[in-house]
Amino acid sequence: MVNRMKKTVIARQSGWELRDICVELGGTPVLRHIDLRLEPGSWTSLIGKTGAGKSTLVRLIKGLIPEFTGEYRLAGEPIARDRKGRVRVVPEIGFVFQYPEHQIFETTVEKELSFALRMRGDSSKEIAMAIRAILPVFGLREEILHQSPLLLSGGQKRRLAIASVLIANPGLLILDEPTAALDPVSRRELLRVLRAWQRGGLHGERRTVLFISHRIEDVAEYSDRVALLHEGHLLAHETADDLFLQRNDLLIQSGMPLPEAIELLRLTEHLSGRTVSPSSCGEADVLDQVKEAWNARKENRRNGR
């Protein structure tokens, strides 16, 4: 128990580190020489086209891919493998799969929420406290605790499934397209909750998040760092601002769309002939700069060029 706690603290301070990781599935290389260190307390987004290796990479980090070459270091030490050289599932990591609501398996909301805690042997008092703390974060009421999850609405089920992972207070949270098929307002709301949690909302300490999303606008808006995969290679691992503002040629090269705000920025630079340099790749910042550029141009025209 003490050992586990100690290891947890170290992992949270020194992060998760992959060195020269290669994975082959059925004879084809899926990941090639990946070097990646997840900064503790950061929100890293993982992007790339379908088939670029995103799911394999996150599953590897969680320990769900037993066979790989290279070194996976957790808390500064190589991750433990058993006699056959296989790794065990890394418990310090929470993993939200796509369409998590389809994987709900318990008969009541309470059991679903407490599953991970029961598996690691928390006392029933600890479990009750944890449940009471997490319900309001996800906008779930206490009355539903003894209901069957099947009776909840689609949105509630999604939030319950995610809460059931977050409740274990994982040091690293992996989110595989958590907002798929949600309407825009529900999507924003869910991202807001996850962001608040990551910033230390519930447990008072920043968490590490690894986020897979097809919506490049959300990636630009929420990430501290962005890792770009292309055909199994890690093409970039930079801050969101650096990647989207300076190195967007990498995105184009790997067939990824640019965030709409960045496209507008490029268009504005092209049409107005002046350099526009926002302070970040956030939509608001870009828009402010674009507005300024157009207004200046309008002004110039009015003053007879």
Partner 1 sequence: MNASDRMLVGQFIERDSAVHRLDPRIKIIGLLLLMIVIMMMDSRSGYAAATVVVLIILLLSKIPLGFYFRGLLPLLPVLILTLLYHTTLGKGQTLLVSYGFLHITVEGILEGVRIVWRILLMILAASALTGTTRPLVLAQGLETLLKPLSKLRVPVEQFSLMIVIAIRFIPTILEEIQRIRLARRARGFEPSNRNPFSRLTEFIPILVPLLVSTARRADNLTFAIEARAYGDGRGRTIFRPLRLTKPDLAAGCLILLSIAILLVIDLHLSNTRI
Partner 2 sequence: MLVFDQVGYYYRRGQEVVKEVSFTIQKGEFISIVGGNGSGKSTLAKLMNGLLLAKQGSVALGEQATSDPDQARDVRQTIGLVFQNPEDQFITTNVTDEIVFGLENIRVPPEQIGGRVQDALRATGLERYADAAPHELSGGQKQRAAVAAVIAMQPQFIVFDEATSMLDPEGRNELIKLMRDLHAQGITIIQITHHMDEVLASRRVLLLDQGKLAFDGPTDRFFREVPLEPYGLERPFAVRIGQQLGWSGEATADWKGRAASQWSIE
Size of residue set near partner 1 by CB under 8 A: 27
Strands 208-212, 225-230: pairing kind: unpaired
- Comparing CB distances to partner 1, the nearer of 103 and 277 is 103
Q: Residue 18's closest CA among 90, 62, 81, 70? A: 70
Spell out, one character per residue from 73 to 92, where the chain touches partner 1: x when CB under 8 A holds, - when not.
Answer: ---------------xx-x-
Q: Can you tell me the distance from the alpha carbon of 43 to that of 9, in angstroms, rounded to the nearest whole number?
A: 18
Q: Which is nearer to partner 1, 61 or 229 (CB)?
A: 61
Q: How far is the CB of 289 from partner 2 (least distance, A)?
A: 12
The mark string for 11-50 relative to partner 1 (x by CB under 8 A, - otherwise) is --------------xx------------------------
Among 52, 104, 160, 202, binds partner 1 (CB under 8 A): 104
Task: Name the β-bridge partners of 44.
Answer: 210, 225
CB of 166 to partner 1, least distance (A): 11
| Cα–Cα distance for residue pair 64/49, rounded to 1 Å | 21
Least distance to partner 2, CB of residue 271, Å: 8
Chain residues that interact with partner 2, rule: CB under 8 A: 49-50, 153-155, 180-186, 188, 214, 217, 257, 260-261, 264, 271, 287, 290-291, 294, 298, 301
Is residue 160 close enough to count as binding partner 1 by CB under 8 A? no
Determine if 1 is a binding residue for partner 1 (CB under 8 A). Answer: no
By CB under 8 A, residue 181 contacts partner 1:
no
Is residue 95 within 8 A of residue 89, CB to CB? The reply is no
Residue 8 or 186 having the CB closest to partner 2: 186
Name the minimum Å distance from CB 78 to partner 1. 21
> Which of 6, 81, 86, 120 touches partner 1 by CB under 8 A?
120
Q: How far is the CB of 59 from partner 1 (least distance, A)?
A: 8
- Of residues 104 and 256, the one with the C-beta less far from partner 2: 256
62 touches partner 1 by CB under 8 A: yes
Residues that bind partner 1 (CB under 8 A): 25-26, 59, 62, 64, 88-89, 91, 93-95, 97, 100, 102-107, 115-116, 119-120, 150, 164-165, 168
